[in-house]
Amino acid sequence: MGWIKRNLFFTIGGIIALLLLGAAAFYDYKSWSHNSAALDRLNEIYGTLKELGDQKPSPGNAKIDNIKMAREQELEVRDWINQTGDYFKPIAPIPDSPEVTSELYAAQLRKTIDQLQHEAETASVLLPPKYGFSFEAQRSIVKFAPGSLHPLAVQLGEVKTISEILFAARVNSLDGIQRNRVSDDDTAGPQTDYNNDISVTNNLAVLTPYVITFRGFSGELAGVLGGFAASPHEFIVTGINVQPAGAVAQADASSLAGMPPAAGAGRGGLPTVLNEQLLRITLEIEIVKPLPKK
């Protein structure tokens, strides 16, 4: 104790020095812990950036912001979709009514078939005898399978639109239109009225397939394709098969009013310039029906 009293200032200074050393050690430890945590976080961020940078496509870098570009391109695509609305007008169902009853559909079906048969006659387009335009299973009944009236009304409107494009092109004859089955009643119909495909729905639209078989020359084929292209409804031709119609078909087609005479040598023995054969053409098409906007 005497020594401490004699060296009081030295003792106090030593104690203060020890406290300062302890504080410095504690500060160094806290700083080291903080720096270590910061380093770990930095390595984690670097690893994430490296992972994103290695992705294909990557988000970009300081000079190229791929995320921003992707958002801008998305807006451009949506703007393009809005601008093309005039080319994707829906085909009105028949009947075009919020509530379709069996009686109403049966009446509209008979009326539409009669109308199409009259339009075919006016356009000099041959049809199979008593042709029902793929609705043979429905034309003789008045009560329809549950849940089938709306899809049948949609198909009737689409078949009418397709038929009128063929009539406008003045094809020589319509062999048939095939649609996909949408009703239990379709199991009783002739197999030639149906195709084996189904409608497909994606994020933007419903794609409904049809198969059309008709006869004509290359000019009529061009007219049909042009009619689909000019339609306000979106038709996509997914397949085409063309082959000679055969001697029997040529004989039948020659009876049509307005049929040009067969090419051949003239009186003076002039050589044949064009001898085009009647063609049997099968088109596979899809009708694109955009989904309602959310």
State the amino acid at position 133 in one-letter form: F
27 pLDDT above the threshold of 80: no
pLDDT tens digits, one per residue of 174-204: 999 999 999 999 998 899 999 998 899 887 7
252 pLDDT above the threshold of 70: no
Q: Which residue has the higher pLDDT, 249 or 110?
A: 110
- Please tell me the predicted confidence (pLDDT) of residue 253: 47
Q: How many CB atoms lie within 10 A of CB 201?
A: 12
- Of all residues in the chain, the percent with pLDDT exceeding 90 is 47
HEC readout, the chain: CHHHHHCHHHHHHHHHHHHHHHHHHHHHHHHHHHHHHHHHHHHHHHHHHHHHHHCCCCCECCCCEHHHHHHHHHHHHHHHHHHHHHHCCCCCCCCCCCCCCHHHHHHHHHHHHHHHHHHHHHCCCECCCCCCCCCHHHHCCCCCCCCCHHHHHHHHHHHHHHHHHHHHCCCCEEEEEEECCCCHHHHHCCHHHECCCCCEECCCEEEEEEEEEEEECHHHHHHHHHHHHHCCCEEEEEEEEEEECCHHHHHHHCCCCCCCCCCCCCCCCCCCCCCCCCEEEEEEEEEEEECCCC
| Long-range contacts, stretch 187-190, CB < 8 angstroms, 24+ apart | 187/137, 188/137, 189/134, 189/135, 189/136, 189/137, 189/138, 190/136, 190/137
Burial class (CB in 10 A: 0-12, 13-18, 19+), 63: exposed
Provide the mean pLDDT of the chain.
Answer: 79
pLDDT tens digits, one per residue of 151-168: 999 999 999 999 999 999
Q: Which residue has the higher pLDDT, 11 or 94?
A: 94
Q: What is the mean pLDDT of residues 271-283?
A: 78
269 pLDDT above the threshold of 60: no
- Please tell me the predicted confidence (pLDDT) of residue 267: 46
Q: What is the mean pLDDT of residues 239-260?
A: 63
